[in-house]
Amino acid sequence: MIYLLEDEESIRKLVIYALESQGFRARGFETPAAFREALKQELPELILLDIMLPEENGISILKSLRKDPAAKFVPVIMLTAKNTEYDRVEGLDAGADDYISKPFGMMEMVARVRAVMRRASVKPARSEYRAGILYVSPERHEVKVDGKNVTLTYKEFLLLELFLEHRNLVLTREILLDKIWGLGVERENRTLDVHIHSLRAKLGPAGHYIQTIRGIGYLFSEDQS
């Protein structure tokens, strides 16, 4: 999902149309208030932010996003008619990932969105995963093993999702700890093992899909060798 905050209706429509035609899900907002309200409902994968807005300017919104624990890692591209070097530097200093000056072409905009997403290694959210007897829907927060519902905690769910995104690849302890619990967690921390243990138990007959790679980490594969 991509959010666009832009008060000019014609640009808003054009950008949303261009993004949707390239397979992205996108929502446009006219005012900072509507945008902030939507942020509480769903965190987007990328934000396109105009600078000249009613109520509050885009730079100040960007600064507040960067202080928000939930939204601070969401990539932001500034869209603006102000293209002096000063504004550009101010936007980048405030934490923007890229900058597009108006007027811009839709193909250029889409290309920059793709480039920023690639850099941020944001993958378009998958609507569902199937692996052997396992079914997972991140959208609906649903896990089924052999058609039966399984209830996971939030962290267990994140772990499983990470495994499914990197099927047949070894994920090191460092990567798992960093992605699920954040930086600063020690390698020797037992939290990961405890979660893997309970995740395997809850997955029952699909539990063995999560394989231990001794001394390194874990690997998810539904094909048993």
- Angle (CA) 213-211-167 rounded to 5° is 100
Q: How far apart are CA 172 and CA 215, in angstroms?
A: 9
User: Smallest distance from the beta carbon of 50 to Ca ion, in angstroms?
Assistant: 4
Interface residue with Ca ion among 7, 56, 68, 222 (CB under 5 A) is 7
Q: What is the CA radius of gyration of the chain?
A: 21
Restricting to residues 104-163, name those near Ca ion by CB under 5 A: none
User: Nearer Cβ to Ca ion, position 11 or 176?
Assistant: 11
Full DSSP string of 193-205: HHHHHHHHHHHGG
Tokens found for residue 195: 């979660």
Q: Which residue is nearest to Ca ion (CB)?
A: 52
Tell me, by CB under 5 A, how many residues bind Ca ion. Answer: 3
In contact, 41 and 3? CB cutoff 8 Å? no
Q: Does residue 90 belong to the site contacting Ca ion (CB under 5 A)?
A: no
User: Nearer Cβ to Ca ion, position 11 or 159?
Assistant: 11
Interface residue with Ca ion among 18, 38, 52, 158 (CB under 5 A) is 52
In contact, 217 and 192? CB cutoff 8 Å? no
Interface residue with Ca ion among 50, 87, 97, 161 (CB under 5 A) is 50
- Say how far residue 174 (Cα) sits from the centre of its chain: 20
User: Nearer Cβ to Ca ion, position 19 or 210?
Assistant: 19
User: Nearer Cβ to Ca ion, position 50 or 156?
Assistant: 50
Q: Which residues bind Ca ion (CB under 5 A)?
A: 7, 50, 52
